[in-house]
Amino acid sequence: MNNSDISIVLLLYQTPKKLLKNLEKYKNYKIYILDQGNDKIIQKWIKKNFKRIQYLGSFDKNIGFAKGINFLVKKINTKYFLCTQADVLIQSKSINLLKKVISNNKKCVISIPRINTYNNKKDIIKVDKFYGGIFMAEKSKFVKMKMFDENFFFYWEDVDLSNRIKKSNYEILQSYKAKATHTYGSSSVFSIKNQFIRSSNFKFGEFLFQYKNNKLRLVKVLRQLITYLFTPPFFLIILKPIKALKNFCYFIGIVKFLLFRL
């Protein structure tokens, strides 16, 4: 199967070394990687093992998923691209099925596999949303949809783009013949810093998405701001530090949104 019209784009950030071997299945594709953790060991391993790599960049600062993927998509010169992660497993057969879905449907801008599900459906269905961790897109249509909104840092950028596609003449199609396996939350090493990035930006993205779609109410902002300010000490007292951290991160995410709006 000819893979010359497909590029693989993926972001790395403090990626566990054991997951790097998952990238070997992309050896026959043009690969574009941005390492936002600037790990020299990872970069050396990639250069050694991937002769067809088209771009390997790094930033000292994590610029976020939306901005990172947009950055890579602007660099590719193929008709299609597969956005994936190091903790996602997908075979070439499924990648080609995703391309076929788009090429056979002019309105399709994004095609997605079934993830972690094992049923006997074999059809292609129209869906309202996709998951940013694994999807195929036609570059020209993706750009026409203005790609990901870079105001989203991490989480909700796929929900936002799904919503914009739903309102347009384009479609998101899912192929049940294309299969992928994803180990959620394992693409980065667990740390307090990473938990802070994930949780604070999840809440920020939630509020930003609702604000963009006129669904955010002031009463919700005030209620959650107060709730997440006072619940962390309570969870610390009852010896639930992870939940205390997550609630504190949500509070920071709301503050970040308010500062963004100001």
20 three-state secondary structure: helix
The alpha carbons of the chain give a radius of gyration, in whole angstroms, of 19
Distance of alpha carbon 158 from alpha carbon 206, whole angstroms: 12
Contact yes or no for 103/150 (Cβ under 8 A): no
Q: In this structure, is the dihedral angle defined by the CA atoms of residues 194, 196, 198 and 204, taken in order, positive or negative?
A: negative
Q: Which CATH number fits domain 6-182: 3.40.640.10, 3.90.550.10, 2.40.37.10, 3.40.50.2300?
A: 3.90.550.10
Residue-level pLDDT, tens digit, the chain, 262 residues: 578 899 999 999 888 878 888 888 888 899 999 998 888 888 888 888 887 789 999 888 889 999 999 999 999 999 999 999 988 999 999 999 999 999 999 999 999 999 877 666 678 999 999 999 999 999 999 999 999 999 999 899 999 999 999 999 999 999 999 999 887 655 555 678 888 989 999 999 999 999 999 999 999 999 999 999 999 999 999 999 999 999 999 999 999 999 998 7
User: In 3-state terms, what secondary structure has residue 222?
Assistant: helix
Domain spans of the chain, in order of start:
6-182, 192-261
C-alpha 255/C-alpha 224 separation (Å) is 11
Provide the β-strand partners of residue 216. none
pTM of the model: 0.90
